[in-house]
Amino acid sequence: MKYSGGDGTVAVEIDTRDLEAAARRLALENGRTTGEMVEQAARLTLEDVVRTTPPGNLRQKGKATTGKRAVRRSIGKAFVGVRIKHKRREEWPDVVGVYEDMKRGRRLGKEPKKYVDQVKLRELVKRQEARVGLLASNWLPGLYRLGGGKRVPKFITRHRGRGGSYEVSTRGRTKRVVVVNDFPSDWGVSRVMEAAAYVAVRRQSAKMVRSAAFLARRDARRAGFRVR
């Protein structure tokens, strides 16, 4: 689920209500409560979505370098760094502002490259590289709460998940976990993030359904039934 905040942000949400039916079915087969299954499913879903959040990195240390390469490639679509002499007027003095505006309008690579001060260009590259892993880190508060995240690389954990939040509520024997990743809308990654969250939830739900079916067949065989 994706929704817009009033402060120029976009929030992508993972809600275990979408996993509850599969969790209930699996709980019946393995003797656990639905609440226990929901928490486990939420943890596994979050670990999955961290893997697919740009640059896609859980347990893949090389992805930090991949993220930095992606930053340079993205900036290289928009700018060429040149040495600005004292008498030469800068046509694009606000390099950061121009870059973010182009990303917001999805114009990177669709316009002629702009010649900008090479010093400012290096500062922009450094600034963007420092953000690598920030999106993934926003899932960490919820992942830590559920007992996961022990193998997350440092380039993700360094951001401390400042844009993430979670809520765990109990209703009878079941639980509901809601984890939110909140980030600026002008980063231009809302569709990617929404897709990553959706796919992770659907994948985990399918895994639980398959596990429940496997346990049911196993128990049926033990009871003497012929099953496929």
Q: 167-189: per-residue pLDDT in tens?
A: 888 877 778 888 988 887 666 67
Q: How far apart are CA 184 and CA 7, in angstroms?
A: 9
Q: Which of 151, 127, 128 is nearest to 51 (CA)?
A: 151
Q: Which residues pair with 182 in a beta bridge?
A: 11
At 9 the pLDDT is 64
- Those residues with Cβ within 8 angstroms of residue 123's Cβ, 6 or more apart along the chain or in another chain: 95
Residue for token digits 């993934």? 136
* HSE of 95, CA atoms in CB hemisphere, 13 A: 24
For residue 192, pLDDT over 50 is answered with: yes
The mean per-residue pLDDT over the stretch 211-224 comes to 82
Q: What is the pLDDT of residues 131-154, one digit of tens each?
A: 888 888 899 999 999 999 888 888
Confidence grade of residue 8 (pLDDT, cut at 50, 70, 90): low
At 122 the pLDDT is 93
**Which tokens in the block code for residue 189?**
């990654």
The mean per-residue pLDDT over the stretch 110-132 comes to 90
Listed in sequence order, the DSSP H helices in 53-161 are 63-76, 95-104, 118-129, 134-137, 140-145, 154-157
For residue 124, pLDDT over 90 is answered with: yes
